[in-house]
Amino acid sequence: MNATQKRDLAITVLIGVLLWFCPVIPEGVKPEAWHLFAIFAATIVGFILSPMPIGAVAFVGITVAALTKVITVKVAISGFGNGTIWLIICAFLLARGFIKSGLGRRIAFLIIKAIGKSSLTLGYAITLSDLVIAPATPSSTARAGGILYPIIRSLSTALGSEPGETRRKFGAYIMQLEYQANAITCAMFMTAMAGNPLCVELAEKAIGVQITWGSWAMAALVPGVISLIIVPFLLYKIYPPEIKDMPTAKKMAVDELEKMGPMTRMEKIVAVVFVGALALWATSELTKIGATVVGMLAVSVLVLTSVLTWDDVLSEKGAWNTMFWMGALMSLAGALSSSGFIKTVADMAGTAIQAAGMSWLTAFMLLIVIYVYSHYAFASLSAHIGAMYAAFLAVAVSVGTPPLLAALAFGAVSNFMMSLTHYGGGPAPILYGEGFVTQGEWWKIGFIMTTVNLVIWLGIGSMWWKMIGLW
Residues that bind a copy of itself (CB under 8 A): 1, 9, 52-53, 55-56, 59-60, 62-64, 66-67, 69, 73-74, 76-83, 86, 288-290, 292-293, 296-297, 299-300, 303-304, 306, 310-311, 313-315, 317, 320-321, 324, 327
Distance of CA 34 to the CA centre of its chain: 29
Closest contact distance (angstroms) between CB of 81 and a copy of itself is 2
What does the DSSP 8-state code read for residue 420? G
Is the Cβ–Cβ distance between 328 and 62 less than 8 Å? Answer: yes
Q: What is the DSSP string of 159-206?
A: TT--SSTTGGGTHHHHHHHHHHHHHHHHHH-TTSSTTHHHHHHHHHHH
277 vs 353 by CB, closer to a copy of itself: 277
Distance (Å, rounded) from C-alpha 101 to C-alpha 152?
A: 19
82 vs 180 by CB, closer to a copy of itself: 82
Distance (Å, rounded) from C-alpha 243 to C-alpha 31?
A: 63
Task: Produce one character per residue of 75-95: b if its CB has 16 or more CB atoms within 10 Å, e if not.
Answer: bbbbbbebebbbbbbbbbbbb
Select from 94, 123, 101 the least CA-distant residue to 111: 123
Closest contact distance (angstroms) between CB of 289 and a copy of itself is 7
Q: Which amino acid is at 73?
A: V
Closest contact distance (angstroms) between CB of 453 and a copy of itself is 33
Closest contact distance (angstroms) between CB of 34 and a copy of itself is 21
Q: How many other C-beta atoms are found inside a 10 Å radius of the C-beta of residue 106?
A: 19
Specify the 3-state DSSP secondary structure of 245.
strand
11 vs 257 by CB, closer to a copy of itself: 11
Closest contact distance (angstroms) between CB of 26 and a copy of itself is 29
305 vs 354 by CB, closer to a copy of itself: 305
Is the Cβ–Cβ distance between 288 and 147 less than 8 Å? Answer: no
13 vs 271 by CB, closer to a copy of itself: 13
Closest contact distance (angstroms) between CB of 290 and a copy of itself is 5
114 vs 304 by CB, closer to a copy of itself: 304
Closest contact distance (angstroms) between CB of 334 and a copy of itself is 12
Is the Cβ–Cβ distance between 239 and 450 less than 8 Å? Answer: no
69 vs 444 by CB, closer to a copy of itself: 69
